Amino acid sequence: MFNISKEDYLRVIYKNYTAGSLVTATVIADKLNVSNAAVTDMLKKLAKEKLIKYIPYKGVELLQKGMELAISLVRRHRIWETYLYKIIGLPLSMVDSEAENLEHSSSDELINRLEEILGYPEFDPHGDPIPSKKGILPKKKKSIPLSELEVDEQGAVLRVNDDSDEFLEHLTKLGIELNRKIKVVERRSFDNSLLIEVHADAPLRGKKEHSISEKYAKNIFVEVKSKK
Amino acid sequence: MFNISKEDYLRVIYKNYTAGSLVTATVIADKLNVSNAAVTDMLKKLAKEKLIKYIPYKGVELLQKGMELAISLVRRHRIWETYLYKIIGLPLSMVDSEAENLEHSSSDELINRLEEILGYPEFDPHGDPIPSKKGILPKKKKSIPLSELEVDEQGAVLRVNDDSDEFLEHLTKLGIELNRKIKVVERRSFDNSLLIEVHADAPLRGKKEHSISEKYAKNIFVEVKSKK
DNA sequence: CAAAATATTTAAGCGCACTTAAATTTTATT
DNA sequence: AATAAAATTTAAGTGCGCTTAAATATTTTG
Ligand SMILES: [Mn+2]
Ligand SMILES: [Mn+2]
Ligand SMILES: [Mn+2]
Ligand SMILES: [Mn+2]
């Protein structure tokens, strides 16, 4: 509701910041698909509004006000993703791009109502934390990439990378979603691909075996459960 | 998804067109809260794209392509209004402004899914017709303003004017919504205000009397039901 | 540590959607 | 039919978010 472009810049800065190191212009330009010159322009505007700290040639980080706006946007984004997935029934691979638009066009009243309907969820369908009305993030549970599980270990899916639609679409085909239990049956050391067993939903009690590449396994994060 | 500004111009032209007479620049400027000069600018662009027929100094009307886009937007708008009202539970006075934003930010897939969840409704919460996927409008039922009912006549609400939020908010307070039966108990010829009886929902079986001004009565449209 | 490679900023310019003020056309009035 | 009033268009200009090309700063590397 603020300004679509500025909100998008703030979200990218938020999502790409890691303590200690500034977010560079190139990273922002890449994620938003605009030129570096456009980024420099916008960073100057955001800095003038005291939303970010901008150190020329070095990068930026969010200031208090910018952080609040970014978290509000992330909240809108993740609540929409959760609603689209759980209530509307859109496929996981579609919710990000849809939420990308809706997040800029929803009143706080609407977002709060969606949150209420969902029962105040803590995580979105990718396993990312949903900020509360006050901007507080739930604690993330500790997770490791599926690629690091040993053979015969199993874990529940805690988070999946939300960067690629193709990746998410394939996960859906394999029956992989949040909380699903996965066991590593076999590791082929030639290419580090895995044979995994995806446990089905309770009612069906079945399991399915699938082969996945190392790259896939590196983008699925599981909570270690137990040896077997 | 096309272009927010252009879509808004097309919607205004669509909603303010009545067969035979063109939509003037002033009407558009009024509804969109922009200057006449801005309207002239945009009308030239829309005409160049063959979306409208623009006759300088006279006005505009939609051409085939513009009509299709306008109807698609109206569809998105009214499906959102219906969803927000019936499923999300937003108050009637809020759904128009919320839908005004969401209509530009929703994929066809999402809109179709909402329509499906709603069970393919024919009318939005103001009683306005919802165009189908193919752009076909359901037939409107014949209605007259409540102000034209005679004393002791009653009718079901078929449509309410969606122009004023304050008006809609007050209707909600009076318990007036679509399909609600209203009987005219008394007309005061001094100011043409009415004493009406609003029939409650089936389960409660109650009725409530309210006094409303002529202006209110002129913006509520009912289907004539029967003399009593 | 100087040269080369890379990243970033500056400069100039564009299309969009708007503004106000002036010019022009249409419509209403006498 | 001439004139006054109202509506509309034209003209000139603005801020926004973007582009490409050139200039400059930083980082890498031989
Ligand atoms: Mn997302
Ligand atoms: Mn997400
Ligand atoms: Mn509406
Ligand atoms: Mn409506």
d(C-alpha A74, C-alpha A68), whole Å: 10
Give the per-residue pLDDT at A207: 83
Contact flag B88-A110 (C-beta cutoff 8 Å): yes
Q: How far apart are CA B63 and CA B60, in angstroms?
A: 9
User: A167 and A219 in contact (C-beta within 8 Å)?
Assistant: yes
Is A158 within 8 Å of A107 (Cβ atoms)?
A: no
Closest CA to B183 of B144, B210, B162: B210
CA B78 to centroid of ligand 4, rounded, Å? 5
Q: Which bases in strand C are touched by protein, i.e. have an atom under 7 Å from a CB? A: 7-12, 16-21, 25-27
**Which residues of A fall within a CB distance of 8 Å from B84?**
110
Burial B197-216 (b: 16+ CB within 10 A, else e): ebbeeeeeeeeeebebebeb
Q: How far is CA A186 from each of CA A193, A194, A225, rounded to the nearest angstrom?
A: 9, 6, 17
Please give the model's pTM, rounded to 2 decimal places. 0.93
Residue pLDDT, tens place only, A160-203: 999 899 999 999 999 999 999 999 999 999 999 999 999 987 66
Q: Domains, chain A, ranges and CATH?
A: 4-62 (1.10.10.10), 144-226 (2.30.30.90)
User: Which pLDDT band holds residue A225 (cuts at 50, 70, 90)?
Assistant: low
The encoded tokens of residue B24 equal 């003037």
Q: What is the mean pLDDT of residues A94-100?
A: 96
Predicted confidence at residue A204, as pLDDT, reads: 62
pLDDT at A129: 97
How many contacts does A have with B, using Cβ atoms within 8 A?
A: 43
User: Model confidence over A11-43: pLDDT tens digits?
Assistant: 999 999 998 899 999 999 999 999 999 999 999
As a whole number, mean pLDDT of residues B198-215 equals: 84
pLDDT in tens, B185-201: 999 999 999 999 999 87
Contacts of B119 (CB under 8 A, 6+ apart): none
Task: Give the number of other CB atoms < 10 A from CB of residue A201.
Answer: 11
Tokens read off for B136: 């076909």
CB–CB of A114 and B88 under 8 A?
yes
Å from the B58 CA to the D8 C1': 9
In angstroms, rounded to a whole number, what is the distance separating the alpha carbons of residues B9 and B142? 29
Residue A228 pLDDT more than 50? no
Specify the 3-state DSSP secondary structure of B176.
coil
pLDDT digits (tens, 9 = 90+) for B107-166: 999 999 999 999 999 999 999 999 999 999 999 989 999 999 999 999 999 999 998 999
